[in-house]
Structure 1
């Protein structure tokens, strides 16, 4: 019998060994990729001391925690949006259509629209083009009520001017009393 030629079964065994070796290398690479995107402080006691199965288990736990955190934040966001809508006394649909061009034609000016989004306040003022508004007085009112104006823009549409101011609460725990801001701006304008 010649030794130089391999039998079909030994050739299949060799191919199987190579494919298993490649499969194990791929699994190891994927596990390394997974553990590299998980913050090292999440691994208990240390990433280097854990077996591959332990690393996968802790990575899975971390992903589950992240998913729960996202769900909780989405629920909280929904609650805050509902609370903000109830405080403003308008629905989301009404808020979104309040100041678009189609509805602005029939509005009595001036209009003050305040949206409270947590510690952020959006103030929109719609004025006739000929009305003189002292924007610095509006900013002063906001600052006296505990807000810091971070952005102010304006645009014109026909004979109307729309001022939009974004302010954040200087102290997020205290917040901004939107009803008081609304009252003071009505007095001012």
Structure 2
């Protein structure tokens, strides 16, 4: 092969690889339809900015919850359990802080409450803190976005489990 043919072949492979990478990016950013490359890059950029803001928000929320945990460990455990449910658009997040000496609640029981109320569980987490407290965090998304999720119903059912 001549150097010119080798260069043309490498360029063709590069274009094919870039096309494949743009297809993968498109499937993450806009899975329903294909976009032209400039629009795809614009949407990917805005999507990354949104994700970064969400990560910062969640970090701040985690720090505030951990700060509350420090305050709770200094006080009596009569303030526990603490249940907080946040709902935004078609997503719902539940944070539950319990003392280990209280009634045991299994993570799968909490997940089943979410699923029975029409939410698909995206993330479920269980964390022991100071060998005295346990933190349950569950994030769910409505299976059918038009119908949504009723946070008050989930809160009522979780409270029934806790007490």
- Higher mean displacement: 125-134 or 67-76: 67-76
Please give the TM-score of this superposition, normalised by the length of structure 1: 0.51
Please give the TM-score of this superposition, normalised by the length of structure 2: 0.57
Is 1:154 paired with 2:134? Answer: no
Structure 2 residues without counterparts, runs of 5 or longer: 24-34, 73-78
Query: 2:64 corresponds to which residue?
Result: 98
Is 1:142 paired with 2:108? Answer: no
Relative contact order, CA 8 A, sep 6+: which one is greater?
Answer: 2
Rg (Cα) greater in structure: 1
Q: Distance in 2 between matches of 1:73 and 1:110?
A: 36
Is 1:64 paired with 2:44? Answer: no
Structure 1 residues without counterparts, runs of 5 or longer: 1-20, 43-60, 82-90
How far apart are residue 103 of structure 1 and its match?
Answer: 3.4
Query: 2:5 corresponds to which residue?
Result: 25
Q: Secondary structure at the match of 1:98?
A: helix
Q: Distance in 2 between matches of 1:97 and 1:36?
A: 45
Q: RMSD of aligned C-alpha atoms? A: 3.9
- Are the equivalent residues in 1 in contact too, given 2:92–2:139 (CA < 8 A)? yes
What number of residue pairs does the alignment pair up?
138
